Amino acid sequence: MTTIANIGQHVGQSVKLQGWLYNSRESGKLLFPIFRDGTGTIQGVAHKAGVPAEVFDALKGLTQESSVIVTGKVREDKRAHGGYELDVETVEVVQRVPEADPYPITLKEHGTDFLMERRHLWVRSPRQSAILRIRAEIMRAAAEYFDSNGFIRTDPPILTPAACEGTSTLFPVDYFGDEAFLTQSGQLYIESTALALGKVYSFGPTFRAEKSKTRRHLTEFWMIEPEVAFMDLDGLLELAENFLSHIVQSVLKNRLPELGVIGRDIEKLKAINAPFPRLRYDEACEMLNQAHKDGHLEAPFEYGNDFGSPDETWLSSQFDRPVMVHRYPADVKAFYMEPDPQDPKFAMCVDVLAPEGYGEIIGGSQRVSSYELLKSRIEHHGLPIDAFQWYLDLRRYGSVPHSGFGMGIERAVAWICGLEHVRETIPFARTLNRIYP
């Protein structure tokens, strides 16, 4: 059995392919069935005079997405899209899609709702398949970066007893009569394993019941989070830029055909190499104020606030590679972030904003290492201190400076693929109004 992806190694030979009928064009006694097998598509050719009658009859009028096993001779042909054609010799129809109930997704345009209701079929389309292949490469390269740099993968629980951050909305579940929640971040847990193993990362799904309905939000998304003992914010910035560079360059190296299928501008990705530009929060504020004066932003930016979505979009569109904005005001950031020793009004944190207006894909920080400070922060934020005793233990017993970040896989995929919406970056997106299929 051969695959369409490596059909070029079989020019002049007869090969066997198993797959589906993607589309079919007919011109009298000449048939052009296009097959797909999950690795690509190839056009077949069948002359009525050149194939047995039963082969011609099986292909003539064959319905879209019928499953088939075909044999044929591979031929180079400049007229064909992939450069190769298959002169069909035999065909076995595994299952014929009935005319009375044709495959619903045609090659013409469809609306979002229609496609999302049929996501289980939509993933067959070349564009969606290409995106999922790139997603897989991003996940592989991300894990590879950490695995080959001394990190140990330690995945946190998905069922948790309490809010990790207390801010976002959580999905509650019944845990044998107790209330538990689906995790919204593994960070607190991997701080624990980082102090056990030194350099760790986690990789898994996270859940946020935010009623957000934008092109950047899913209620269930995948996050990869490194956490490193004895690492400060500067070390974290270096880690983030090297990590992202490795991922983008791996995609360019291993998924170039797929980037072509989805029409991604390759030049923009080639520019993604460390080091990345760095901006203090203050400097970013000045840029935003200037942008407002110049009429690029509607709302004036109020110093001291966190950036809004339009702010991030504008900032990130000013650079040809991800920009790392660091040292935000501590008041607008999470309780576990270490204050800047130079000026405790600022937090030792970083947001990495992807270029081309994609906004935040990474958020990270150096963590509070002082027991007393962390305890007062938890109390100040009105969080249940009992639920955080285990977390405070990390500061009781051999506390060290440590840092980590989280990257949302779907946002990274959306950026690297140049997509309009994150719903296409995951096989089955979970959004505010959709949990089917």
Partner RNA sequence: UCCUGAGUAGCUCAAUGGCAGAGCAUUCGGCUGUUAACCGAAGGGUUGUAGGUUCGAGUCCUACCUCAGGAGCCA
What is the closest distance, in whole angstroms, from the C-beta atom of residue 99 to RNA in the complex?
A: 3
**Site membership for RNA, residue 167 (CB under 7 A):** yes
Please state, in angstroms and rounded to a whole number, the distance separating the CA atoms of residues 209 and 432: 8
Give, as ranges, the residues between 198 and 217 that touch RNA (CB under 7 A).
208, 210-217
Give, as ranges, the residues between 373 and 402 that touch RNA (CB under 7 A).
none
From residue 121 to residue 160, the character string flagging contacts with RNA as x (rule: CB under 7 A) and all else as - is: ----------------------------------------
Give, as ranges, the residues between 302 and 321 that touch RNA (CB under 7 A).
306, 308-310, 312
Please state, in angstroms and rounded to a whole number, the distance separating the CA atoms of residues 91 and 107: 23
Give, as ranges, the residues between 3 and 32 that touch RNA (CB under 7 A).
23, 25-30, 32
Which is closer to RNA, CB of 15 or CB of 334? 334
Cα three-residue angle 257-258-264, rounded to 5 degrees: 100
Place of tokens 């440590």: 402
**Site membership for RNA, residue 369 (CB under 7 A):** no
Cα three-residue angle 30-92-130, rounded to 5 degrees: 80
Question: What is the DSSP annotation of 139-175?
Answer: HHHHHHHHHTTT-EE-PPPSEESS-SSSSS---EEEE
From residue 318 to residue 357, the character string flagging contacts with RNA as x (rule: CB under 7 A) and all else as - is: --------------x-------------------------
What is the closest distance, in whole angstroms, from the C-beta atom of residue 397 to RNA in the complex?
A: 27
What is the closest distance, in whole angstroms, from the C-beta atom of residue 69 to RNA in the complex?
A: 21
Please state, in angstroms and rounded to a whole number, the distance separating the CA atoms of residues 233 and 370: 16
What is the closest distance, in whole angstroms, from the C-beta atom of residue 213 to RNA in the complex?
A: 5
Q: Are strands 278-280 and 323-326 parallel, antiparallel or unpaired?
A: parallel
Q: Which residue in 66, 185, 202, 316 binds RNA (CB under 7 A)?
A: 185
**Site membership for RNA, residue 238 (CB under 7 A):** no
Please name every residue paired with 324 in a beta bridge, in sequence order, or none if there are none. 278, 352
Which is closer to RNA, CB of 71 or CB of 168? 168
Q: Which residue in 388, 410, 415, 416 binds RNA (CB under 7 A)?
A: 410
CB 206 within 8 A of CB 411: no
Taking Cα atoms as reference points, which of 429, 435, 437 lies closest to residue 205? 429
CB 355 within 8 A of CB 325: no
CB 307 within 8 A of CB 284: yes
What is the closest distance, in whole angstroms, from the C-beta atom of residue 374 to RNA in the complex?
A: 18
Which is closer to RNA, CB of 54 or CB of 393? 54
Q: Which residue in 64, 71, 254, 289 binds RNA (CB under 7 A)?
A: 64
**Site membership for RNA, residue 49 (CB under 7 A):** yes
**Site membership for RNA, residue 411 (CB under 7 A):** yes
Rg (CA), the chain: 26
C-alpha dihedral (309, 267, 128, 97), degrees to nearest 10: 150
Stretch that binds RNA, among 249-257, 289-297, 359-367, 382-390 (CB under 7 A): 359-367
Q: Which residue in 111, 295, 341, 398 binds RNA (CB under 7 A)?
A: 111
Long-range contacts of 162-165, Cβ-Cβ distance < 8 Å, separation of 24 or more: 162/384, 162/387, 162/388, 163/383, 163/387, 164/188, 165/334, 165/335, 165/336
**Site membership for RNA, residue 168 (CB under 7 A):** yes
**Site membership for RNA, residue 370 (CB under 7 A):** no
